[in-house]
Amino acid sequence: VKRIGILTSGGDAPGMNAAIRAVTRVALNSGIEVFGIYDGYKGMVEGYIEPLTKASVGEIIDRGGTILGSARLPEFKDIEVRKKAVSQLKKRGIEAVVVIGGDGSYRGALALTEMGINCIGLPGTIDNDITCTDFTIGFDTALTTIVEAVDKLRDTSSSHHRCSIVEVMGNRCGDLAIWAGIACGAEIVITSSTGFEEGEVLERLRDFDLIKKKRHAIVVISEKITDVHQFAKKVSLNTGFSGRATVLGHVQRGGSPTPSDRVLASRMGEKAVDLLMQGIGGQCVSIKDNQIISVPIEEALSMPRESRKRLLNLFERLV
Ligand code: ADP
């Protein structure tokens, strides 16, 4: 392979730039030319594609977001739209592409591979919602942001006998919530795996107040489970705590990537280039037991989500 492209797609994540840099530098050092495809599959279809040099990926390893931009293009499911993308690539002699994104982006990468453009997926998402990998690029940074925020909320909560209900991201994956719950010493964690029984949670909060005499309580809850502002009102009405909801929102997606995310992105970027050099496509890169491996995208997309029973069990033993 002589020329490859690289793009970022779907929701952005800190560490995507470190991955772009790694793919570009490893490829250039192996005698392969690299093209940046801007705004995800949208730029591929529209031909917004420019060469990347070692210098153009300099000074980006510490920057959040993605220098290539990201976009969503639902029409990419349409084969006619993908044909346009393939012809844009062929026109420039680009034979293979590294796609950094989530499972939606992986589907696009698989569809392109089936049309003769070898694609390798890298897991770029803060949600850690790609089952075939222990960690995604961006998860550690988002977790760090959450922990900093919850530590601050705890200070003010204990001054005011408050219950802070902190909604974190995860897109139906509870990993950010459970990891943050353990790291912050939260009182309660609610994810799609734990389920949400409102009455039971209120009962436990009364217990923390009356029996355990806690000065504050932190509840970490995944997004898309309940309206946390409504729930905070119920906490105020039904327990001795004054309930306050905080939705951390998009701050979780920003910031300079942590060293772990930068190193993970670099290791995964190297693997992607090595796979393309072997003529392999339709696979995604994962980290399993601290080994960088690759998994067929088709297999990756059909793996059931882990329930995180052991971590949830640990959390309960720490309360
Ligand atoms: P993420 O990659 O973060 O999961 P999306 O689900 O929005 O984000 O997917 C990103 C992009 O991937 C979509 O906007 C679309 O262009 C492309 N995509 C998603 N699903 C498919 C599919 N089944 N076939 C082809 N392309 C797809």
- Contact criterion met (CB below 8 Å) for 63 and 17: yes
C-beta neighbour count of 86 within 10 angstroms:
17
The pLDDT score that the predictor gives to residue 225 is 98
DSSP calls for 27-73: HHHTT-EEEEETTHHHHHHHT-EEEE-TGGGTT-TT--S-TT-----
The pLDDT score that the predictor gives to residue 311 is 97
Put the strands of the sheet holding 118-123 in their side by side order. Answer: 49-52, 33-37, 3-8, 96-101, 118-123, 283-288, 291-296
Residue-wise pLDDT for 267-317, tens only, equals 999 999 999 999 999 999 999 999 999 999 999 999 998 889 999 999 999
| pLDDT > 70 fraction of the chain, expressed in percent and rounded | 100
Tokens of 292: 């960088």
Residue 107 alpha carbon to ligand 1 centre in Å: 6
| Residue 247, helix vs strand vs coil | strand
Residue-wise pLDDT for 167-213, tens only, equals 999 999 999 999 999 999 999 999 999 999 999 999 999 999 999 99
Q: Could you tell me which residues come within 8 angstroms of residue 74 by beta carbon, excluding any fewer than 6 positions away? A: none
Residues annotated as catalytic are 127
Whether 126 shows a pLDDT value over 90: the answer reads yes
What does the DSSP 8-state code read for residue 232?
H
| Average of per-residue pLDDT across 157-164 | 91
Residue 279 alpha carbon to ligand 1 centre in Å: 24
Task: Kindly report the pTM of this predicted structure.
Answer: 0.97
Identify the band that residue 158 occupies on the pLDDT scale cut at 50, 70 and 90. confident
Whether 159 shows a pLDDT value over 90: the answer reads no
The pLDDT score that the predictor gives to residue 143 is 98
Atom 11, ligand 1: residue with shortest CA distance: 105
| Average of per-residue pLDDT across 123-131 | 97
d(CA 207, CA 205): 5
**Using CA of residue 25, residue 26, residue 32, residue 35, what is the dihedral sign?**
negative
- Contact criterion met (CB below 8 Å) for 132 and 285: no
The pLDDT score that the predictor gives to residue 93 is 98
What does the DSSP 8-state code read for residue 75?
G
CA 96 to chain centre: 24
d(CA 222, CA 192): 8
| Average of per-residue pLDDT across 242-261 | 98
DSSP calls for 172-188: T--HHHHHHHHHHT-SE
Whether 120 shows a pLDDT value over 90: the answer reads yes
Residue 10 alpha carbon to ligand 1 centre in Å: 7
| pLDDT > 90 fraction of the chain, expressed in percent and rounded | 97
The pLDDT score that the predictor gives to residue 268 is 99
Residue-wise pLDDT for 214-233, tens only, equals 999 999 999 999 999 999 99
| Average of per-residue pLDDT across 127-146 | 98
Q: Candidates 73, 79, 106, 107: which one to mutate for ligand 1, based on the most atoms within 8 Å of Cβ?
A: 107
Residue-wise pLDDT for 70-119, tens only, equals 999 999 999 999 999 999 999 999 999 999 999 999 999 999 999 999 99
d(CA 143, CA 21): 23
Residue 77 alpha carbon to ligand 1 centre in Å: 8
- What DSSP element (H or E) covers 148? helix 139-159
The pLDDT score that the predictor gives to residue 13 is 98
Residues with CB under 6 A from ligand 1: 9-11, 41, 72-74, 76-77, 101-105, 107-108, 111, 125
